[in-house]
Chains A and B, each alone.
Chain A
Amino acid sequence: MASSTLTTPIAEIGSAPVHGGNRSTRKRIARAFGYAGLVIAAAAVLLPFFWMVMSSLKTNNDVFTVPIQWIPKTFVWSNYVDIWQKSDMSTWLKNTMILSVAVTFLQLLTGSFAAYGFSKVRFPGRDVLFLAYIGTIAVPWQAYMIPQFILMSKLHLVNTLWSIVALQAFGAFGVFLMKQFYETVPEALSEAARIDGLSEYGIYRRIMLPLSVPALASLALLTFTKTWNDYLGPLIYLRSPNLWTIQLGLKSFVGQYNAEYALIMTGSVLSVLPIAIIFMLGQRYFVEGIATSGLKG
């Protein structure tokens, strides 16, 4: 078996070999400029988030002012305490967490499973069925929201957390994503495994899944984020206040005649943090190198 290359950077566009003193100084300067550029770009990209954080520390009527207040006149740190006391943020957090984890887990499982069937098994009607899957992604949800709601209502799923799980866990997106990744795995690997006596399910479990860790990680993060931030789905299906997710709960600060904008910003900032943390800590799963060494044995 050839050696595995787990940590070598893979895309090396633009890196020149180092040859001597001048080159290395120039390279260092270039790198410094590069970093500076990246930092400026990151700052520009994060500017709206910066405004959100600053606004979460203002009083309600100071959030939207003309001219824009980039730094609050007085920092209302108590907003971050108030939001837990004034509202049911802990319940919303709990519900959102339950939904995001459940949907992500189910989507990963059923999606990768189905993707294997679509990608590695030839059976009649496969491509047309797959096209139907993609097709439903193309239909805007607002269009079939009401018939779907009536159907879910008849199934007695409305106003339960299960409704959101049912709606999101079986989406076509995960199937499509995983299928594309399975197609990058050479057929020769599966052939070798079959000769070794593995069933298709065994191939799926022992070969496909481990090889597709970056894809699975990406799918997990994207599904988690989408479910975490979903607003329209919970709006229609989660009516009781004890079922609300964070997005629904934050909207409840917008009354008909008055809105507590500062608290909405506080909640929005808190809502972003878990995902940002998961993303930063899970980096290695997204860019882990793959050992495709099985070919050389």
Chain B
Amino acid sequence: MKRSIATGLGIAAALSMTLTGCGGGSGGTGSDSAASAGPVTISLAGWSLATTPEFKTLADAFHAANPNITVELKEYDAANYDTQMVADLAAHSAPDMYVQKNLMNFFTYQDGGQLMDVSDVAKKLGKGISGLNAYKVDGATYAIPYRQDSWYLYYNKDLFDAAGVGYPDGTWTWDDYAKNAGLLAAGLKAAGSRAQATYQHGWQSLVQGFANAQSPKADILKGDFEYMKPFYKRAIAMQTAGDQPTYGTVTTNSLTYQAQFGKQKSAMMPMGSWYVATLIAQEATKDADTFNWGFAPIPQLDSSTITKPVTFADPTGIGINPAIDKSKVTAAKAFLAFIGGEDASTKLAVIGITPAYSSDAVTTVYFGVKGVPSDDLSRSAFATHDTKPENPVSKDTAAIQHILLDMHSSIMSGSKSVDAGIAEAEARVKSEVLNK
């Protein structure tokens, strides 16, 4: 008797928790006051506040321009940001605004009704902003980007000189890249250097990101991955030839790209634009060596896209929690408008962030920072590129990307051949994702 009462209560409690969900839209608690004349405080979720200055920069710059509104930062864990955010949103304790780390998780939040429609803010933004379209679903925009990374090819001028190989000049295709890696390997060995030609980090995006962005008509949502074959075959050939550390070495020894390039263990490295600021900071703390380096546009599939190199990265944006107090919506939208503008972008450029809004002023500020290579090639890599999103916004993206991650590890570790790995991934997507 006692047991069944307890069980009954338990089920009732459980049901009540899941049946009252947080639906999208309203939910404003507290005051409904229309006029927000007094000072307003809005909260923003960010991560690793001590080592990631971009959030504080935005908050302080906005406050300087709008003394009435204070943006309060809430700290989340860098690696587990989305796990914590999902838990908080489920329990209705999330902050007023929160950062969209990538498009894969953006879909989760938008589809779950956890983002407010901010199309009105988007309409008023200047033309120079990139990544805004990625946040558009069914005609409405749900977040505003403040940062748009892209991928460059970093190169160590001193090591290139020692090997007697010419620097990347912005016209390289991937075949040029592989060819020069071979020349570098031979040249470095002859010069007695222990450095390797290039470094490919372990992430799946090192191969797939470029394949997806640069191959015509590539769409991971269709489940057809033939176009990735040349990219994988090239990567396997380079690691077999010893031009780069093998995937197995990279993962089992937890190699870090900061150490590989920064301590001059590799002559070149494809990596994201965020690394510029990190390298400069590490040069100052002596965690990295001081040497001559630059960054070039990433190699292309063929020479047709040389004038506007195709690269990839998801934008980083901020969205509004629909459970926000109604009286704070105007302030939150004002913040979103701010982060997509030139003022915020120049402030971000000063700390080495690649802002979503680009203009000549922003470029000048970015390259005015001490330590940033000031050659023309770097400037053009920064200012001229066609950045495609890394993740399509769809309910199948997370599952497909995970299947592709498994494929990446099995191909690059040598457990499966390129053809077998791709065939298996296609079969899995067909049966596990598309037939659902």
Direct A–B contact in the complex, CB atoms closer than 8 angstroms:
yes
| Chain A residues at the B interface, C-beta cutoff of 8 Å | 59-62, 64-66, 68, 125, 128-129, 145-147, 149-151, 153-154, 158, 235-236, 239-241, 248, 251-252, 254-259, 261
Select A153's contact among B84, B91, B286, beta carbons within 8 Å: B91
Interchain nearest-CB distance for B101 vs A (Å): 9
* Complex CA distance for A145 and B88, rounded to whole angstroms: 12
A256 closest partner in B (C-beta): B78
CB distance from A47 to the nearest CB of B (A): 16
| Residue of A61, A128, A254 ringed by the most chain B CB atoms within 10 A | A61
Per the bound structure, the CA–CA distance linking A154 and B90 in Å amounts to 11
- Bound-state Cα–Cα, A225 to B286, Å: 37
Kindly list chain A residues whose C-beta atoms are within 8 Å of the C-beta of B245: 66
A66 touches B48 (CB 8 A): no
Contact residues in A for B93 (Cβ distance below 8 Å): 153, 158
Which 3 residue pairs of A and B lie closest in terms of their CB atoms, listed nearest first? A153-B91, A255-B51, A61-B259
Q: Among A61, A149, A153, A261, which residue has its beta carbon within 8 angstroms of that of B262?
A: A61
Instruction: Assess whether B75 is in contact with A64, with CB atoms less than 8 Å apart.
Output: no
Closest to A231 in B: B80
Contact B47 A61 (CB under 8 A): no
Chain A residue numbers with a CB within 8 Å of B258 are 61, 257-258
A151 contacts which of B17, B74, B92, B278 (Cβ < 8 Å)?
A: B17
Instruction: Name the B residues within 8 Å of A125 (CB-CB).
Output: 2-3
| Complex-state Cα separation, A61 to B258, whole angstroms | 8
List the count of A-B residue pairs having beta carbons below 8 Å apart: 96
| CB neighbours of B259 from chain A (8 A) | 60-62, 64-65
**Most central of A65, A151, A158, A241 by chain B CB within 10 Å:** A65
Q: Are A251's CB and B17's CB within 8 A?
A: no
Given contacts A235-B77, A241-B75, A259-B256, A150 and B278 within 8 Å (CB-CB): no
A68 to B253, CA, bound (A): 8
B1-35 contact mask (Cβ, 8 Å, vs A): 1 or 0: 01100000000011001100000000000000000
Nearest-neighbor residue (CB-CB) of B272 within chain A: A257
A149-B90, A254-B79 known; A66+B274 contact, CB < 8 A = no
Query: In whole angstroms, how far apart are the Cα atoms of A65 and B84 in the complex?
Result: 32
Interface residues on chain B, size class: 35 or more
**Complex alpha-carbon distance, A207 and B108, angstroms:** 57
Taking CB atoms and an 8 Å cut-off, the chain B residues in 49-65 that contact chain A are 50-52
Q: Which residues of A contact B50 (CB under 8 A)?
A: 252
Give the Cβ gap from B72 to chain A, nearest Cβ, in Å. 13
Shortest CB-to-CB span from A172 to chain B, Å, is: 16
User: Which residues of B come within 8 Å of A, CB atoms?
Assistant: 2-3, 13-14, 17-18, 47-48, 50-52, 74-80, 83-84, 86-87, 90-93, 245, 249, 253-256, 258-259, 262-263, 274-275, 277-278, 281-282, 286-288
Q: In the bound complex, do residue B255 and residue A257 qualify as a contact, i.e. CB atoms below 8 Å apart? A: no
Measured in the bound complex, the distance between the Cα atoms of B83 and A149 in whole Å is 12
Instruction: Name the A residues within 8 Å of B274 (CB-CB).
Output: 256-257
Residues of A within 8 A of B90 (CB): 146, 149-150
* Smallest CB gap from B20: residue in A: A150
A150 near B91: Cβ-Cβ < 8 Å: yes
A146 touches B86 (CB 8 A): yes
Q: Is the CB of B83 within 8 A of A59?
A: no
A-B contact pairs, 24 of them (CB 8 A): A60-B259, A61-B258, A61-B263, A61-B282, A61-B287, A64-B256, A65-B259, A66-B253, A146-B87, A146-B90, A150-B90, A153-B93, A158-B91, A158-B93, A240-B75, A241-B75, A248-B77, A252-B48, A252-B50, A255-B52, A256-B78, A257-B258, A257-B274, A258-B278
Which of B245, B249, B258 lies at the interface centre, i.e. has the most chain A CB atoms within 10 A of its CB? Answer: B258
In the bound complex, how far is the Cα of B74 from the Cα of A149, in angstroms? Answer: 19
6 additional A-B pairs beyond A66-B253, A258-B281, beta carbons within 8 Å, are: A61-B282, A65-B259, A125-B2, A125-B3, A145-B87, A154-B17
Q: Specify which of A60, A66, A158, A257 is in contact with B275 (CB 8 Å cutoff).
A: A257
Contacts of A239 in B (CB 8 A): 74-76, 84
Q: State the CA gap A248–B78 with chains docked (Å).
A: 11
Which B residues lie within 8 Å of A151 (CB)? 13, 17
Q: Which residues of A contact B74 (CB under 8 A)?
A: 239
A152 (CB) vs chain B CBs: closest residue: B91
Closest Cβ of chain A to B371, distance in Å, is 15
Partner of B78, one of A60, A129, A254: A254
Q: Is the CB of A256 within 8 A of B47?
A: yes
Most buried by A among B48, B255, B263: B48
Cα–Cα distance between A238 and B416 once the two chains are bound (Å) = 42
Q: Which residues of A contact B256 (CB under 8 A)?
A: 61, 64, 259, 261
- Asked if A235 contacts B83 (CB within 8 A), the reply is yes
- CB of A149 within 8 A of CB of B87, answer yes
Query: Known: A61-B263, A254-B79. Is A66-B255 also a contact (CB below 8 A)?
Result: yes
Task: State the Cβ distance, A216 to closest chain B Cβ, in Å.
Answer: 29
Q: Find out whether the CB atom of B51 lies under 8 angstroms from the CB atom of A235.
A: no
* B77 partner, pick from A59, A66, A251, beta carbons under 8 A: A251
Contact B18 A235 (CB under 8 A): no
Q: What is the distance, in angstroms, from A60's C-beta to the closest C-beta of chain B?
A: 5
A145 vs B75: C-alpha distance when bound (angstroms) = 21
B253 touches A65 (CB 8 A): yes
How far apart sit A241 and B277, CA to CA, in the bound complex (Å)?
Answer: 26
B-chain residues with CB within 8 Å of residue A257 when the two chains form the complex: 258, 274-275, 277-278
A149 / chain B contacts, CB cutoff of 8 Å? 87, 90-91
Note all chain A residues with C-beta closer than 8 A to B255: 64, 66
Q: Is the CB of B253 within 8 A of A258?
A: no
Given the known A-B contacts A252-B77, A256-B52, are A64 and B86 also in contact in the complex, defined by CB atoms under 8 Å? no
B3 touches A129 (CB 8 A): yes
Report chain A residues within 8 Å CB of B13.
151
Q: Which residues of A contact B254 (CB under 8 A)?
A: 64
